[in-house]
Amino acid sequence: GKTINLDQVEKIYQTRTGPVQALSKISVNLDSGSFVSIVGPSGCGKSTLMNLIAGLDTTPHGSIRINGEKINGPVDGNAVVFQKDVLLDWRSVIDNVLLPLEIQGISWWSRPNRKTNKERAKELLELVGLKGFEDKYPHELSGGMRQRVAICRALIQEPELLFMDEPFGALDALTREQMMYDLLRIYNKYKFTCIFITHSIEEAVFLSDRVLVMSSRPGKLVKDISINLPRPRN
């Protein structure tokens, strides 16, 4: 996992109609290995904040440190899952999961456990209940299954830091609940640091060690809640 420190982070978008301040003076420290949810109304700056920490966007205002090092762009060991899965329709399920390794040119002999990439992809698919779906294509899957594939594609990068922006936002209630249990099982197994954006307080409380509540105009942190509920562990 990774420790994250934000000090007086602000974000101002320049738009045609003038500057829009999306974040105001965000200071917070997140512990390595923790599961942190960010909740708040639409437009309060959740995605903006996540994008900055994930290095998908930058700001000149304030500092963001990961393991003590100031970041200003993408960082190795990050993986991101968005609300809308971005699977490639012309690739099979397993080839979608393998995509990041192909892009990074990572082959099996560079891994300590010497499992082939395909073996690892299969294991991950099995972990999310998609054993037997390796050779299907995205259009043959339900929304929940597609999002599970997107999660596998993130996990195959062995991220130390996993970012999720409303990953279950487009799913029906039952699927969403199953996904929450799956995600918790995965988190308990792999122990990454997780930053999870959601509209749902229920999801946040179920999944997190800590819930950051934001409010808008401009986006700021208004509550920082530690959750000490016993969570399912298996």
CA distance 45 to 214: 8
In whole angstroms, the minimum distance from the beta carbon of 143 to ligand ADP comes to: 16
By beta-carbon proximity to ligand ADP, the closer residue of 40 and 159 is 40
In whole angstroms, the minimum distance from the beta carbon of 107 to ligand ADP comes to: 33
In whole angstroms, the minimum distance from the beta carbon of 110 to ligand ADP comes to: 33
By beta-carbon proximity to ligand ADP, the closer residue of 46 and 153 is 46
**Sequence letter at residue 139:** H
Specify burial of residue 230 (Cβ count, 10 A radius: 0-12, 13-18, 19+). Answer: exposed
By beta-carbon proximity to ligand ADP, the closer residue of 42 and 234 is 42
In whole angstroms, the minimum distance from the beta carbon of 55 to ligand ADP comes to: 15
| Cα distances (Å, whole numbers) of residue 195 to 35, 217, 231 | 6, 22, 17
Specify burial of residue 146 (Cβ count, 10 A radius: 0-12, 13-18, 19+). Answer: buried
The SS3 of residue 128 is coil
In whole angstroms, the minimum distance from the beta carbon of 162 to ligand ADP comes to: 17
Provide the binding-site residues for ligand ADP, judged by CB under 6 A.
13, 15, 20, 22, 40, 42-48, 166, 219
By beta-carbon proximity to ligand ADP, the closer residue of 70 and 217 is 217
| Cα distances (Å, whole numbers) of residue 217 to 11, 17, 117 | 12, 16, 46
In whole angstroms, the minimum distance from the beta carbon of 155 to ligand ADP comes to: 22
By beta-carbon proximity to ligand ADP, the closer residue of 23 and 124 is 23
**Sequence letter at residue 175:** T
By beta-carbon proximity to ligand ADP, the closer residue of 14 and 226 is 14
Token representation of residue 189? 């197994």
**Residue 229 phi, psi (nearest 5):** -70, 145
